[in-house]
């Protein structure tokens, strides 16, 4: 019995649990808007996705859902022989012209999609409200075309939304808005998601659709607004030059929405694939998500070590010290040389560290370099080395060295060259551990 118990305990991923608590305390009570395209509701992972969103609402996040309904509206109009071929361009996006004949069918299709969310949320025992939170006005006549019941967001009824959110309920906003006199308009769900996110100053906007694999194009994990802008320009150019790629076209549309939201002050916009099991939770609780994140503020930073970082730094180093890759240091030894250490923080968690110790003779030792294995191969280690080399330059050090037993290839790839132990500064030579047989690698700076 006892041995079973200890085996089970060992298999619990403690780091992951810590990470979840860390995130929960950081984001609890924060507002998240989920813009979810219609095809996601038809994917097999849809019930799981709604369950995850319900879980977030139950844990204290304020969640709003904006379902896209385009394909369902197309289907309903077709079934009822309503011509929906009319289209106008609004800010570079094609927008359906909704005639007075079509609007009641559009409403029906939009509410049908919203109620799918309601059904699955009910299954997770979360209260939800499909509501009239959008005041809309008509687009009027554009380039001689009467756009009928095609509308734009006039106002988001923020107070009503807050009332619902503060009761712990999830508001669902179908792609319909109403004029003050009650006239219905078909409004783009992208526009509603953007308006709701900015009006409520949401912390995060999720744009969830079904991504099919795009030829030769892997989605970038993180983009600043400037990088997103550049990507849109480059890839948009490719599309204009005739490359047929529906997936890329859709991704660019999502990027444009994300960029607008980011420029309007939403700090994190996540573009993710709704097909992927647990995509929202992975994205939220692992710092580095599976889709693309557009981040408007400082997402990661390298800074000096603070005393409060010690537990995190020791957690990074402990397995490496156990394996003998790093030499053993305890908390007080690190604190004694606190100013030598730097850490790389991502969204509030320490993910890499390193130190530069001065030894005289204008030489500095790079030591205690470690990257969190969950964030390996993302260039964090390289950035730590770059920052330590910069630190050394500022201290008028002209040669840095490292003693390594198992990481020589990595240092060589960064330009370090093997050197004899005799080249070490006098003071370091005296404490060089002959039994460890570390190799010396140096970099002239
Ligand atoms: C070495 C270490 C810091 C690299 O961190 P990282 O953030 O994953 O590294 P980067 O993302 O900057 O670089 C990744 C590249 O280095 C390579 N790399 C990573 N660890 C390596 C190692 N031990 N030996 C050789 N190459 C290695 C990766 O294959 C990758 O190559 P690529 O760019 O061609 O794909 C990390 O693996 C670590 O913490 N190792 C244990 C501690 C250690 O050895 N510290 C150095 C002694 S002070």
Domain end marker among 295, 318, 340: 295
Contacts of 388 (CB under 8 A, 6+ apart): 342, 354, 355, 356, 366, 369, 400
pLDDT for the residue 291 = 83
Q: What separation in Å is there between the alpha carbon of 416 and the centre of ligand 1?
A: 14
> Which has the closest alpha carbon to 225: 273, 260, 270, 190?
260
Same domain, 267 and 156: yes
Model pLDDT, residue 1:
39
- Rounded to the nearest 5 percent, the helix, strand and coil shares of the chain are 45, 25, 30
Cα 338 to Cα 90, 271, 343, 438, distances in angstroms:
56, 39, 11, 24
Ligand 1 centroid–CA 328 distance in Å is 19
- Burial level of 396, CB count in 10 A (0-12/13-18/19+)? exposed
Q: Are 268 and 289 in contact (CB under 8 A)?
A: no
Residue having the nearest C-alpha atom to atom 29 of ligand 1: 377
DSSP 3-state of 429: helix
User: Are residues 216 and 342 both part of a single domain?
Assistant: no
Under 8 Å between Cβ of 74 and 301 = no
Same domain, 218 and 342: no
Q: Are residues 321 and 248 in the same domain?
A: no
- The distance of Cα 409 from the centroid of its chain, to the nearest Å, equals 32
Strand order in the sheet with 300-304: 300-304, 341-346, 349-358, 363-371, 399-404, 439-444, 417-419
Q: Are strands 439-444 and 417-419 parallel, antiparallel or unpaired?
A: antiparallel
pLDDT of residue 12: 61
Residues in contact with 340: Cβ distance below 8 Å, sequence separation at least 6, in sequence order: 355, 356, 357, 358
What is the rounded average pLDDT of the residues 122-129?
93
- 268 and 304: one domain? no
Shortest CA distance to 189 belongs to which of 63, 38, 88? 38
What is the pairing mode between strands 151-156 and 222-223?
Answer: unpaired
Does residue 62 share a domain with residue 22? yes
pLDDT level of residue 216 (50, 70, 90 thresholds): low
What pLDDT sits at residue 2?
43
CATH number of the domain at 17, please.
3.40.1160.10
From the list 63, 62, 59, the residue with the least C-alpha distance to 36 is 63
CB 381 less than 6 A from any atom of ligand 1 = yes
| Residue 402: CATH number of its domain | 3.40.630.30
Residue 215 banded pLDDT, cuts 50, 70, 90? low
Counting ligand 1 atoms within 8 A of each CB, the residue from 324, 328, 357, 381 with the most, and so the one to mutate, is: 381
pLDDT band at 14 (very low <50, low <70, confident <90, very high): confident
Rounded to the nearest whole angstrom, what is the distance from the C-alpha of residue 442 to the centroid of ligand 1? Answer: 17
Identify the H or E element spanning 292: strand 292-295
Q: CA-to-CA distance for 387 and 221, rounded, in angstroms?
A: 23
Mean pLDDT of 235-248: 70
Pair (124, 218) in one structural domain: yes
Query: How high is the pLDDT of residue 217?
Result: 65
Do 147 and 216 fall within a single domain? Answer: yes
- The verdict on 125 and 75 lying in the same domain is yes
Nearest ligand 1 atom to alpha carbon 404: 47
pLDDT in tens, 313-370: 999 999 999 998 999 999 999 999 999 999 999 877 899 999 999 998 899 999 999 9
Q: Which of 385, 407, 440, 443 has the most ligand 1 atoms within 8 A of CB, as the residue to mutate?
A: 407
In terms of DSSP H, where are the helices of 242-309? 246-263, 279-285
Mean model confidence pLDDT for the chain: 89
Residue located via tokens 């995130």: 23
pLDDT band at residue 289, thresholds of 50, 70 and 90? Answer: low
Which residue's CA is the nearest one to ligand 1's atom 18?
410
**Distant-in-sequence, close-in-space partners of 164: CB < 8 Å, separation ≥ 6:** 129, 131, 171
Lowest mean pLDDT among 5-14, 305-314, 378-387: 5-14
User: Domain check: are 287 and 341 in the same one?
Assistant: no
- The DSSP secondary structure of 70-115, one letter per residue, reads HHHHHHHHHHTT-----EEEETTEEEE-B-TTTHHHHHHHHHHHHH
Residue 6 has pLDDT above 50, yes or no: no
* 353 pocket-lining for ligand 1 (C-beta < 6 Å): no
**Per-residue pLDDT tens over the stretch 399-441:** 999 999 989 999 999 999 999 999 999 999 999 988 888 999 9
Whether 407 is in the pocket of ligand 1, judged by its Cβ within 6 Å, is yes
3 alpha carbon, distance to own chain's centre: 40
Tell me how far apart the terminal alpha carbons of the chain are, to the nearest angstrom. Answer: 60
- 167-213 tens-digit pLDDT: 999 999 999 999 999 999 999 999 999 999 999 999 999 999 987 66
Is residue 22 exposed (0-12), middle (13-18) or buried (19+ Cβ within 10 Å)?
Answer: middle
Residues 125 and 268 reside in one and the same domain = yes
Q: Are 152 and 187 in contact (CB under 8 A)?
A: yes
325 close to ligand 1 (CB < 6 Angstrom): yes
Boundary-marking domain end, from 256, 278, 295: 295
Least Cα distance to 76 among 42, 47, 45, 112 occurs for 112
**Backbone conformation region of residue 265, classed left if phi is above 0, alpha if psi is from -120 to 50, else beta:** left
Question: How many whole angstroms separate alpha carbon 433 and alpha carbon 426?
Answer: 14
Same domain for 290 and 316, yes or no, is: no
Residue where a domain stops, chosen among 278, 295, 312? 295
- The set of long-range contacts for 160-165, using a CB threshold of 8 Å and a minimum separation of 24, is 160/131, 160/133, 161/64, 161/133, 161/196, 161/200, 162/200, 164/129, 164/131, 165/31, 165/62, 165/64
Rounded to the nearest whole angstrom, what is the distance from the C-alpha of residue 412 to the centroid of ligand 1?
11
pLDDT for res 5: 45
Identify the pLDDT of residue 242.
Answer: 62
Pairing of strands 128-130, 170-172: parallel
Q: Who wins on pLDDT, 145 or 114?
A: 114
Which of 302, 323, 377, 439 for a ligand 1 pocket mutation test, highest count of atoms within 8 Å of Cβ? 377
Domain count, the chain: 2
User: Confidence class of residue 151 from pLDDT cuts 50, 70 and 90?
Assistant: very high
Expressed as residue numbers, the domain containing 409 is: 300-444
Ligand 1 atom nearest to CA at 380? 7
Q: Which tokens hold the place of 180?
A: 């003050």
Q: For residue 220, what pLDDT is reported?
A: 83
Supply the residue whose CA is at minimum distance from atom 39 of ligand 1: 370
Q: Return the structure tokens found at 303.
A: 């800074």
Confidence bin at 299 (pLDDT 50/70/90)? low
Q: How is 150-175 classified by DSSP, letter by letter? A: BEEEEEE-HHHHHHHHHTTPEEE--S
């Amino acid at each position: 019995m006892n041995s079973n118990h200890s085996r089970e305990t060992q298999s619990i991923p403690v780091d992951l649990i810590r990470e979840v608590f860390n995130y929960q305390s950081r984001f609890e009570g924060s507002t998240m808007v989920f813009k979810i395209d219609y095809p996601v509701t038809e994917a097999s992972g849809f019930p799981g996705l709604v369950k995850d969103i319900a879980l977030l609402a139950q844990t204290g996040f304020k969640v709003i859902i904006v379902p896209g309904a385009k394909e369902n509206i197309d289907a309903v109009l077709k079934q009822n022989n309503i011509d929906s071929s009319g289209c106008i361009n609004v800010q570079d996006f094609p927008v359906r012209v909704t005639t007075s004949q079509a609007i009641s069918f559009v409403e029906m299709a939009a509410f049908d999609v919203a109620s799918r969310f309601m059904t699955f949320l009910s299954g997770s025992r979360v209260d939800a409200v499909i509501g009239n939170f959008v005041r809309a006005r008509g687009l009027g006549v554009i380039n001689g075309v009467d756009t009928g019941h095609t509308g734009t967001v006039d106002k988001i009824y923020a107070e009503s939304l807050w009332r619902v959110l503060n009761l712990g309920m999830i508001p669902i906003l179908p792609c319909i808005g109403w004029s003050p006199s009650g006239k219905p308009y078909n409004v783009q769900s992208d526009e509603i998601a953007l308006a709701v996110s900015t009006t409520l100053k949401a912390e995060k906007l999720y744009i969830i659709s079904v991504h099919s694999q795009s030829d030769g194009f892997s989605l970038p994990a993180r983009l600043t607004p400037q990088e997103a802008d550049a990507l849109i320009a480059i890839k948009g150019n490719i599309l204009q030059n005739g490359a047929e790629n529906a997936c890329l076209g859709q991704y660019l549309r999502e990027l444009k929405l994300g960029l607008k939201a980011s420029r309007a002050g939403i700090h994190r916009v996540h573009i993710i694939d709704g097909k992927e099991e647990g995509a929202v939770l992975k994205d939220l609780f692992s710092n580095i998500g599976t889709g693309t994140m557009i981040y408007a503020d400082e997402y990661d930073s390298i800074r000096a070590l603070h005393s409060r970082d010690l537990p995190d730094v020791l957690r990074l180093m402990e397995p490496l010290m156990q394996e003998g890759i790093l030499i053993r240091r305890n908390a007080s030894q690190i604190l004694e040389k606190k100013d030598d250490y730097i850490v790389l923080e991502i969204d509030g968690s320490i993910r890499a560290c390193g130190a530069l110790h001065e030894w005289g003779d204008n030489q500095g030792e790079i030591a205690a370099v470690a990257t969190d294995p969950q964030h390996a191969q993302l260039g964090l280690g390289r950035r730590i080395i770059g920052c330590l080399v910069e630190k050394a330059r500022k201290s008028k050090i002209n040669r840095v060295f490292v003693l390594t037993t198992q990481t020589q290839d990595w240092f060589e790839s960064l330009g370090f060259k093997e050197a004899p132990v005799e080249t070490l500064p006098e003071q370091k030579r005296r404490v060089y551990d002959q039994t460890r047989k570390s190799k010396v690698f140096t970099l002239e700076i």
